[in-house]
Homo-oligomer: A and B are copies of this chain.
Amino acid sequence: MTPSTTLPRRHLLAASAAALSAAGLASWTGAAQAQATAAAAPKPLPGYAGWKAGNALIVHSSSTLETRRGAFGTSVVTPSSQLYVRNNLPAPDAAILDDRNAWVVRVEGVKNPRELTLAELKTLGLETVATVLQCSGNGRGFFPTKPSGTPWTVGAAGCVVWSGVPVRNVVAALGGVASGMAYVTGTGGEKLPEGVDPLTVLVERSVPIKAMEDAILAWEMNGEPLSLAHGGPLRLIVPGYQGVNNIKYIKRLAFTEAQSQARIMQHGYRMTPPGAKASPDQPSVWEMTVKSWINGPLPEQGPLKPGMVQVHGVAFGGTRGIKGVEVSVDGGKTWQAAQLIGPDLGRFAWRQFVLPVRLGAGTHVLASRATDTAGNVQPEQREENVGGYNNASWADHAVTVSVA
């Protein structure tokens, strides 16, 4: 999940920092402060994510962990221990995992609304889907405007495998969607701070109802029961949609006529033009667009020797899958088709690409440019916006390596 836009956050901080602090949310405000100071010293992993591989992660704050670019492997699936974390509120108490099957989600906006336990969900079907999970703020660190929020570069993303029940099965079991509904709205089960208008902090997001066809309620990630850090015991997975729409600790799944009234929906995560204020009439961060980046070689790995190098990285197309990837070793002047390698985990997953190139002495600007199956080409330039969302610019993601 990703940070709310600048304006609501600032508003919130101004309005209710004292209340948050009183509610024990120091880590939350601490995150914003750390982002403001920008030059943070290395921090330890927060307790709820203490099982993660610290050397593979950049700890921006207790609620924002980023995978190091050099830690991404080439085996398609991102290990859970290396996957980024972005929490909009502190994680609930780990006690919610004590009896996973007793977790309750209320389903509304269907013909026969009711509460279902996780045990009951497990009788309604089983599906497995690989998805790119990406914070909509991934790439924000490349914006020269330095938007408020975590300055992620590429590591607020991963490709992981989920198991759960298709939302359409749940809907069918409850008589179908009620008439007139246009959105799927998920509500997170985080504990809300007291003394604050709940709508200013509630994690509740709406996506267009068509997303229901692919969505699942997931209780497992990468072969293990879903961890607290990633939304266990139950998370709404909306394949192809930006991370914030994948509601953790989901306690309510509703089919609704309108979008959620929560600030995170109305004003947060909007593509607000430079100089404007966030507003519900601006596009929300929903479907991801075509994007790729290079994970090797990287400048931080030191100078290369002249000779052959396997330029490799990842590419994904939101809901569309990847048709191909080109690689440039001259900063985008010329391009060569890369090879897609490894198993294809489906249209919501990322693909790996590799291009063997011979590099001579000097510096080389390496870039990648992906095309999705609908023919959309990854753009050279980012779309400027206040929140620093949806950065798919291939120029921003290029790396400069030296050969000596």
Contact = CB atoms under 8 A, between A and B. Distances in A.
**Most chain B beta-carbon contacts within 10 A, residue among A72, A162, A223:** A223
A77 B342 contact: no
Contacts of A309: 123
Interface residues of A, number: 45
Contacts of A124: 308
A371 interface: no
Nearest to A158: B223
A76 B128 contact: yes
A222 interface: yes
A127 interface: yes
A282 B341 CA distance: 38
Given A125-B310, A223-B73, A310-B126, A343 B343 contact: yes
A312 interface: yes
B220 A127 contact: no
Nearest to A161: B75
Interface string A172-193: 0000000000000000000000
Interface in A76-135: 76-82, 122-130
Given A161-B343, A343-B349, A346-B343, A126 B74 contact: yes
A31 interface: no
Contacts of A307: 123
B77 A80 contact: no
A345 interface: yes
A356 interface: yes
A126 B341 contact: yes
A345 to B, nearest CB: 4
A68 to B, nearest CB: 13
Contacts of A138: none
B77 A77 contact: yes
Given A77-B77, A221-B75, A310-B122, A127 B341 contact: yes
Contact of A74 (B72, B77, B163, B312): B163
A273 to B, nearest CB: 38
A352 interface: yes
A310 B169 CA distance: 13
B78 A342 contact: no
A224 interface: yes
A338 to B, nearest CB: 11
A354 interface: yes
B308 A161 contact: no
Contact of A223 (B82, B344, B349): B82
Contact of A343 (B74, B130, B310, B354): B130
Interface string A328-356: 00000000000001111110010010101
A344 B137 CA distance: 31
A122 B15 CA distance: 54
Nearest to A307: B123
Interface in A165-220: 220
A74 B81 CA distance: 18
Contacts of A53: 224
Interface string A391-402: 000000000000
Interface in A283-320: 307-310, 312
The 7 closest A-B pairs by CB, nearest first: A128-B342, A73-B223, A75-B161, A343-B345, A123-B308, A74-B163, A75-B223
17 contacts: A73-B163, A73-B222, A74-B126, A74-B128, A74-B163, A78-B223, A79-B222, A122-B310, A123-B309, A123-B356, A125-B310, A125-B356, A126-B310, A126-B312, A128-B343, A161-B343, A343-B346
Given A74-B128, A77-B77, 9 more contacts: A53-B224, A74-B126, A74-B220, A75-B221, A75-B223, A79-B80, A124-B308, A126-B312, A126-B354
